[in-house]
């Protein structure tokens, strides 16, 4: 018998128990802790032992390796937690999936698609944190990736937009894999910034999408996309989590302060400006992702597409 436990560490943390390839449970941590979007899936990992008394493999998924350690032993907290729960009665392997976040998104879609081959389009606020010797050794984040996927399971990267908050401009770093490094955030960061400006949490993409039909085209708003990239005059990314509208650059236009933003959240009252910006980001996202899909079709010549987006709804 093969018993695999996998967990997602970040927001909306979750745990899955697989026995001989069958999902016994998939559970978000918030269901056990009653704390919305809870991370660090300790309760989910403990739940595993309601069903089995040993595991063969622990898979830990996130966008980077850094995380809490056990006191005294210095072990990774999740490995340590399983060891403690097991009272040392069994050995288990540990696999970390954290440097291929976008490939993981692609695999989740492709494996379950039933397709033999497809193009996979992924967009994220900040996927895996990748270290680079270039650009003064700063961390690069995955924003948008296109893979050509086929069975047996292989993923050929044909496009990747990586970025950083450093002023690095625009760089084609590998023509073969279509890898670019820029100082421009991806569209998801712009979506997060507007979500926050409208009084929601950065990851409340669904609430912003719900607000967007109440807005209207407003030509006074600065462009969200400029020359094919997210407008850095308007948006300040905050890697890895969240982003902001640079309100001070546009005096009199973005005057919604934290207090009135919270009031809107509580009473369902939103300014015309908030509603129009929600409309604008929704429209801009559809155009931006539409262009990305067209790029995927042009490069891969595939007719079957899998679209996998984090914190963005179209």
Closest CA to 118 of 302, 292, 297, 301: 302
| Minimum gap (Å) between residue 179 Cβ and Fe ion | 18
Site for Fe ion contains 145 (CB under 5 A): no
| Minimum gap (Å) between residue 311 Cβ and Fe ion | 8
| Residue 77: how many other CB atoms lie within 10 Å | 16
Report which DSSP code applies to 222: P
Given the complex with Fe ion, which of 44 and 125 has the nearer CB atom?
125
Phi, psi of 283 (to 5 degrees): -65, -45
Given the complex with Fe ion, which of 164 and 310 has the nearer CB atom?
310
Binders of Fe ion among 271-310, rule CB under 5 A? 310
Given the complex with Fe ion, which of 81 and 141 has the nearer CB atom?
141
Given the complex with Fe ion, which of 14 and 310 has the nearer CB atom?
310
Given the complex with Fe ion, which of 48 and 188 has the nearer CB atom?
188
| Minimum gap (Å) between residue 12 Cβ and Fe ion | 11
Close Cβ partners of 152 (under 8 Å, ≥ 6 residues apart): none
| Minimum gap (Å) between residue 84 Cβ and Fe ion | 29
Close Cβ partners of 191 (under 8 Å, ≥ 6 residues apart): 205, 208, 281, 285, 311, 312
Contact track, Fe ion, 106-135, x by CB under 5 A: ------------------x-----------
Supply 222's token pair.
């600065």
According to DSSP, the residues that pair with 157 across neighbouring strands are 147
| Minimum gap (Å) between residue 262 Cβ and Fe ion | 28
Closest CA to 123 of 264, 284, 262, 265: 284
One DSSP character per residue, 178-216 reads: TEEEESS--HHHHHHHHHHHTTS-TT-HHHHHHHGGG--
Given the complex with Fe ion, which of 139 and 310 has the nearer CB atom?
310
| Minimum gap (Å) between residue 120 Cβ and Fe ion | 13
Given the complex with Fe ion, which of 10 and 199 has the nearer CB atom?
10
Binding residues for Fe ion, total number by CB under 5 A: 2
| Minimum gap (Å) between residue 162 Cβ and Fe ion | 14
- In whole angstroms, give the CA distance from residue 6 to residue 61: 7
Count Cβ atoms within 10 A of the Cβ of residue 132 and give its class: 0-12 exposed, 13-18 middle, 19 or more buried: middle
- End-to-end Cα separation, the chain, in angstroms: 41
Given the complex with Fe ion, which of 124 and 144 has the nearer CB atom?
124
Supply 221's token pair.
């708003």
- In whole angstroms, give the CA distance from residue 13 to residue 178: 32
Nearest residue by C-beta to Fe ion?
A: 310
| Minimum gap (Å) between residue 266 Cβ and Fe ion | 30
Close Cβ partners of 290 (under 8 Å, ≥ 6 residues apart): none
Site for Fe ion, rule CB under 5 A: 124, 310
């Amino acid at each position: 018998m093969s018993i695999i436990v996998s967990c997602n560490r970040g927001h909306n943390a979750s745990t899955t128990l697989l026995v001989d390839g069958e999902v016994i449970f998939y559970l978000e941590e918030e269901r056990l802790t009653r704390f919305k979007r809870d991370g660090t899936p300790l309760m989910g990992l403990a739940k595993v032992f309601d069903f089995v008394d040993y595991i063969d493999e622990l898979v830990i998924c996130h966008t980077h390796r850094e995380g809490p350690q056990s006191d005294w032993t210095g072990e990774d907290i999740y490995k340590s937690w399983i060891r403690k729960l097991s009272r040392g009665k069994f050995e288990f392997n540990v696999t970390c999936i954290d440097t291929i976040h976008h490939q993981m998104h692609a695999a989740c879609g492709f494996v379950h698609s039933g397709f033999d081959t497809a193009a996979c389009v992924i967009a994220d606020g900040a996927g895996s944190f990748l270290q680079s010797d270039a650009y003064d050794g700063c961390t690069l984040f995955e924003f948008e990736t296109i893979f050509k996927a086929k069975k047996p399971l292989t993923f050929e990267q044909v496009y990747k937009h990586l970025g950083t908050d450093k002023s690095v401009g625009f760089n084609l770093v590998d023509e073969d894999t279509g890898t670019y490094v820029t100082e421009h955030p991806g569209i998801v960061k712009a979506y997060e910034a507007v979500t926050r400006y409208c009084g929601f949490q950065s990851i409340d993409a669904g609430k912003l999408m719900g607000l967007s039909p109440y807005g209207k085209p407003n030509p006074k708003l600065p462009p969200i996309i400029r020359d094919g990239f997210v407008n850095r005059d308007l948006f300040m990314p905050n890697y890895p989590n969240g982003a902001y509208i640079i309100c001070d650059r546009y005096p009199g236009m973005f005057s919604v302060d934290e207090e009135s933003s919270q009031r809107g959240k509580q009473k369902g009252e939103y300014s015309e400006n908030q509603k129009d910006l929600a409309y604008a980001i929704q429209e801009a996202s559809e155009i931006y992702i539409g262009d990305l899909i067209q790029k995927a079709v042009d490069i891969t010549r595939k007719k079957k597409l899998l679209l996998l987006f984090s914190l963005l709804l179209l």
